[in-house]
Amino acid sequence: MHKDDWFHLADQCTRFLPGHGRAVWTPHAVFTQLAALTAPDLKPDFYGGGELIADFEKRVAELLGKEAGVFMPSGTMAQQIALRIWSDRHHSPHVAFHPTCHLEIHEQKAYQLLHGLHGVLIGSPYQLMTLDDLKSVREPLAALLLELPQREIGGQLPSWDDLVAITTWARERHIALHMDGARLWECQPYYQRSYAEIAALFDTVYVSFYKILGGIAGAMLLGPPDVIDEARLWQKRHGGTLVQMYPMVLSARHGLDTRLARIPQYCAKAIEIAAILKSRPGIELLPDPPQTNMMHVFIRGEKDRLEEATSKIAREQKIWLFRYFAPCQIPGYCKVEFTVGDATLEFSVEEIRRLFEELLR
């Protein structure tokens, strides 16, 4: 089915299984909500300055225990800038990350073509990076990027002890540590530590506001004041100092206000759903059990037939399941990424079991 047809079908649905559903689906819903929460005399930001954006940067920096932060339009921009700064300061182009890192598989080699960096891929694309993997690297590394959790392998997380061992090893060798925290917000229930304690293992941290927090767009890079000051300069060079970013800032702030406290519920619901799904023949999960509010669900069946079953459920029951079934390494199976959000909480696990049985039939 064509992408436009999928969107048209989704518009007809009244319930959504993954994510936050219609609350973040249409501009009208988003802007109506933001208008009701915005004071009439609020002043907009202007080229990255102003009270609105400065207060928000301070708030997130305090939450993560960092001295400073800078709001940027995208995480792609934030992470390239962070690695460029650490590369320049360490006089080395070598930056290390997992083979499924966003910079490697989703950004068209921008780190190399725009910044002259050399990516050193560490570990297996199907497993978490280990300390032994890191010890096998021979290049003098400027920075090590770790993604928490790792989306492309189902949202897996290293144990706290393993994470501390890896970051300690890097720090002892004066390798800068940067966190891809696009989904950092979802890690706290697993680690049972504050965001500041998790972020303290890293020199710089990137967080996203449009994923589980449901913002329009936007990201933040956090770290020492001198690094963030330099990042602001690179942001201008990237064309990222927009004249006004208040819609993104306001929706990011709203996401922190409303959804951050719900993340333990999302994660607990994911574990409940996984317990139901894994008992069904024809379904495999990664990881099992989920470590955050996301999991990869491997479903036995042909892609076209699964998509047709999904569209049938959408037409007849007005329930939106999944749009895209990806090929995977298990023969005869397809993969979907299942993220639990506000909309998911409205379904009982029994109803979710029934929907997956219909999908498989």
Domains and CATH numbers, the chain: 3-20+261-360 (3.90.1150.10), 39-258 (3.40.640.10)
Q: Which pLDDT score is estimated for 251?
A: 96
User: Identity (one letter) of the amino acid at 199?
Assistant: A
C-alpha pair distances (Å), 76 with each of 62, 73, 306: 23, 9, 32
Beta bridge partners of 296: 286, 337
Residue with the two structure tokens 């497993």: 127
Rounded distance between C-alpha atoms, residue 314 and residue 6, angstroms: 10
Please state the φ and ψ torsions of residue 248, each to the nearest 5 degrees. -70, -40
Rounded distance between C-alpha atoms, residue 358 and residue 361, angstroms: 5
Rounded distance between C-alpha atoms, residue 74 and residue 115, angstroms: 17
Q: Residue 160 contacts by C-beta under 8 Å, 6 or more apart in sequence?
A: 191, 193
Q: Which pLDDT score is estimated for 37?
A: 84
N residues, the chain: 361
- Alpha helices (runs of H) in the chain, residue ranges in sequence order: 3-11, 27-37, 51-63, 75-90, 102-105, 110-115, 131-135, 160-172, 188-191, 195-199, 225-237, 246-258, 263-277, 303-317, 342-345, 349-360
Q: Which pLDDT score is estimated for 24?
A: 66
Mean pLDDT per 10-residue segment, the chain (361 residues): 74 94 78 89 94 97 98 98 98 98 98 98 97 96 98 98 98 98 98 98 98 96 98 98 96 96 98 95 96 98 94 96 91 97 96 95 86
